[in-house]
């Protein structure tokens, strides 16, 4: 199958590209604008693969998207390209609306015009908003509360409209908090692992009791692939890891794995509008035969170990442009923290 993965140089996209290449006879085109989190080093092992092509380009650019779809005879589109970090969305909301809403619109329309057979939108549990009790089902109303999740929800609604209006065969996956190797070190688990390795404080928002359901990137990619091949067009599928934990418990586990003292944890001023809890009901996808396979404690240990043994990968990032952003965001908050 000829598959276009957008955002394939990012965290989830790169694992997905590898899985699609090595697990079948697919041809994979990776269209990525190489924004700050896009990193071709995530794919060095498959860069020379005979069924793999990388194209530098923006999903908001209709001419590029049209050309890629045509030149490579693309039959399936998986949209992983996005602005993804909530903290950044608070500082710069417009870039999220641009890529996550307008970029999705451009991609959808070009894919429809090109007669693509399946369009899978990779979305997030954050579109349901904060869920104090119970578990979000796919039909629940969307109640996003950050510019990131609102932009993702906008993308989801556009995708759904292409099914109701054009019967264009779309699918949406809503994954929970994902972790694993190659995740940009601003996100919770890699930030805490890399800080702990350097004996730096772990800046934990608010009271640290926010709850997330952790999903291994390997299970997430298996879920996306499962929905692609077995999902019903027009449907949404939740993908959760079944590993709900308080953030403070995850921080403690990272320190324990690295043998570092618990007093590295610093409670800092909470993120504005910080969602308290996300939780997914995944019965729909489980009925299709998918289930998570990675136990959180095992997956976290392997991930922390990856950051410990792949310091060249993340130190290039943390010593570059990222440092300015990181210092602005976290170091200030650490000042005066308890």
Ligand X SMILES: NC(=O)c1ccc[n+]([C@@H]2O[C@H](COP(=O)([O-])OP(=O)(O)OC[C@H]3O[C@@H](n4cnc5c(N)ncnc54)[C@H](O)[C@@H]3O)[C@@H](O)[C@H]2O)c1
Between the CA of residue 128 and those of 39, 81, 156, what are the distances in Å? Answer: 29, 20, 11
Residue from 26, 64, 84, 238 that binds ligand X (CB under 6 A)?
84
Judged by beta carbon, residue 155 or residue 169, the one nearer ligand X is 155
Is residue 105 involved in binding ligand X (CB under 6 A)?
Answer: no
The stretch near ligand X (CB under 6 A) out of 3-11, 128-136, 191-199, 317-325 is 3-11
Q: Which of 88, 152, 245, 284 contacts ligand X by CB under 6 A?
A: 152
Q: Is 106 in the site for ligand X (CB under 6 A)?
A: no
d(CA 6, CA 55): 10
Give the residue, chosen from 5, 81, 116, 257, that forms a contact with ligand X under the rule CB under 6 A: 81
Torsion on CA atoms 225, 238, 181, 61, rounded to nearest 10: 70
Residues 154-183 that bind ligand X (CB under 6 A): 175, 177-178
Stretch that binds ligand X, among 77-85, 156-164, 281-289, 295-303 (CB under 6 A): 77-85
Per rule CB under 6 A, is residue 10 in the interface with ligand X?
yes
Q: Which residue has the tokens 């549990």?
A: 125
How far is 251 from 8, CA to CA, in rounded Å?
28
Name the residue among 10, 12, 84 with its Cα closest to residue 54: 10
Q: And the tokens for 69?
A: 């779809």
13 near ligand X, judged by CB under 6 A: yes
Q: What are phi and psi of 203, to 5 degrees?
A: -80, 105
Question: φ, ψ for residue 314 (rounded to 5)?
Answer: -85, -25
Which residues of the chain form contacts with ligand X (CB under 6 A)? 6-7, 9-13, 32-35, 37-38, 58-60, 80-84, 99, 103, 122, 124, 152, 175, 177-178, 184
């Amino acid at each position: 199958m000829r598959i276009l993965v957008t955002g394939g140089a990012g965290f989830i996209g790169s694992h997905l590209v590898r899985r699609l290449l090595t697990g079948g006879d697919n041809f994979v085109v990776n269209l990525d604008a190489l924004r700050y989190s896009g990193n071709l080093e995530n794919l060095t092992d498959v860069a020379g693969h005979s069924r793999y092509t990388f194209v530098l380009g923006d999903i908001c650019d209709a001419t590029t998207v049209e050309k890629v779809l045509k030149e490579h005879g693309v039959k399936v589109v998986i949209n992983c390209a996005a602005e993804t970090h909530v903290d950044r969305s608070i500082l710069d909301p417009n870039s999220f609306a641009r890529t996550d809403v307008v970029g999705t619109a451009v991609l959808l329309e070009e894919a429809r015009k090109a007669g693509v057979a399946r369009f899978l939108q990779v979305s997030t549990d954050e579109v349901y908003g904060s869920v104090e009790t119970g578990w979000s089902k796919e039909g629940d109303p969307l109640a996003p509360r950050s510019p990131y999740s609102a932009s993702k929800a906008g993308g989801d609604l556009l995708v759904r409209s292409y099914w109701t209006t054009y019967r264009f065969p779309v699918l949406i996956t809503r994954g929970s908090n994902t972790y694993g190797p190659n995740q940009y070190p601003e996100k919770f688990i890699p930030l805490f692992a890399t800080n702990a390795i350097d004996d730096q404080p772990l800046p934990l928002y608010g009271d640290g009791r926010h709850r997330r359901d952790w999903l291994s990137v390997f299970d997430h990619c298996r879920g996306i692939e499962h929905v692609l091949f077995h999902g019903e067009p027009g449907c949404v599928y939740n993908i959760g890891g079944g590993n709900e934990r308080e953030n403070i418990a995850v921080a403690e586990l990272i320190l324990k794995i690295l043998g570092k003292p618990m007093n590295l944890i610093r409670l800092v001023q909470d993120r504005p509008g910080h969602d308290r809890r996300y939780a997914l009901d995944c019965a729909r996808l489980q009925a299709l035969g998918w289930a998570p396979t990675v136990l959180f404690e095992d997956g976290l240990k392997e991930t922390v170990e990856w950051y410990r043994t792949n310091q060249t990968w993340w130190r290039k990032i943390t010593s570059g442009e990222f440092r300015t952003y990181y210092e602005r965001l976290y170091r200030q908050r650490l000042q005066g923290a308890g």
